[in-house]
Structure 1
Amino acid sequence: MAISGSTRVFYILGDPVAQVKAPTVYNHLFQQHGIDAVLVPLKLPAGAVRGFLQDGGMAAENIGGFWVTIPHKGALADLLPAKDPVATVANAVNAVRRRPDGTLEGALFDGIGFVKGLDHFGIPVTGRRVLVVGAGGGGHAVAAALAQRQPAALAVYNRTTERAASLVRRLQPLVGAAATVAASNDPAGYDLVVNCTSQGLQPGDALPFDPARAGAGTAVLDIIMTREPTPLLKAARARGLRAEPGFEMLVQQVPEYLRFFGFDSLAATLQADLAPIRALLAPK
């Protein structure tokens, strides 16, 4: 791709960063659609984030902002004053843009990507009973986005009860008494159950909950971002349940990032047909 003196520069900050697919995906899109921009990976240690922001790392006017991955999502949320509602609940950001006056603004698209994935699958949230299993970073983002869809009940389970209670307190300004701490990970009685734990990443992991306990109409979602079904999803499908992987959550974030960084036309084009993004993120 051609890089000139007028190229708009973006970063992706992480440590490690060698595994990220964002530069491949977005640079392909920029080139394909004639956009004079480039996304560059930066391996930035956790302790260097504050200095990066304060010591001129974002001072250049042709820097448009940066994508954020581990371990920086929480640290940047603490350093940036303006965040969207989902980012506020999750206390994390995965995108930061540079405003024309040089100030920075953060946003979080994990949860938005998840609920847009539900739309893609035709799975409703409003008025439904929802159980979120796992109250880590992913659970915070997913629960906050679900809360904005006004479920009838939004229960959170975590092996450490206080962590679930902390998330529920953050959700209550959005859904009030509908947000509660679940006494167990039992999916019985819920319309939608979401695995927001890491169980399923490693061979031999125990299932995060027993899908045999779920009702016949329950939908099961897993936020582990693989296109292939996890053991949980295989078990749920074997029981005849609707069960969908976390890959779509990743796909649906792409237009959100582009819109956030000012590429509205490209975002609209891709949102109308996300098949090319799916192919880029998980080529066959």
Structure 2
Amino acid sequence: MATAAPARWLRVLERAAVPVLLVAGWEIFSRSGVLPESLLPAPSMVALAWADWLTGYSGDTQSHSGGWLADTAASSARVLAGFAIAAALGVGLGVAIGWSRRIEAVIEPTLQTLRPIPPVSWIPLAIIWFGIADKPAIFLVFLGAFFPILLNTIHGVKSCDRDLIRAGAMVGGDQGKLLRFIVVPAAMPSIFAGLRIAVGSAWMLTVTAEMVAVKSGLGYVLWDSYYFLRYDIVLAAMASIGLLGFLSDLAIRAVMNRTLRWRRGATLRGGEG
């Protein structure tokens, strides 16, 4: 116990070293006068703008003062909705394609044709179909998150050990039981890898959509602040998006670690053997 605490603090310091150095270097460079502070605000200025955006204590961020929680909630709701739809369809379809060659032959060519199309190129159609509201943002988030989940799920299913599948079939397992108890659990590491990639894409796409098709959220604040030359708010919005993306990834990792505890136990037993 006595040695665990110093080791834990050492890990914290290791993780914080690079961010602290980057922020310190940024502060020094911004204060050096190489660029006007209005073009590259120092981190301290960004922090003040962010604090007013969060609490509304000074009104310095004008119409956005005190609105950070509402903007964050709007963006988070769009990310959650689009990501949930993408996860449900991506995992379900990915398991079907990875398991059945017939389904793969019928569906995969169409999906591989759609996959290279950048999600942002769908913005005009999304606005035409859904109007200026939450729906086009959710649609774009879905597009950005769907394919990473789908492809990783297909890979996970196809990578399942065939000997395990044959062994399951030999003891009377039907298609449903093989999928439920062997194939899907074996594919879970790949599925979670796809989910982690997808949640980052989801945040990028919701911000892009909010710049164009929505009048609320972090992306809207970022774009509106750019028009009024408030680059401190722009940077605060960027930092907010990065922080929320990081927290989203942490949440998925927590679920992954809890779900895949059996895998860590098997790894340890294999190492002991």
Normalising by structure 1, we get a TM-score of: 0.23
Q: Please identify which structure carries the higher strand content.
A: 1
Q: Please identify which structure carries the higher helix content.
A: 2
Structure ranking higher on relative contact order (CA contacts 8 Å, 6+ apart): 2
Q: Which has the larger radius of gyration?
A: 2
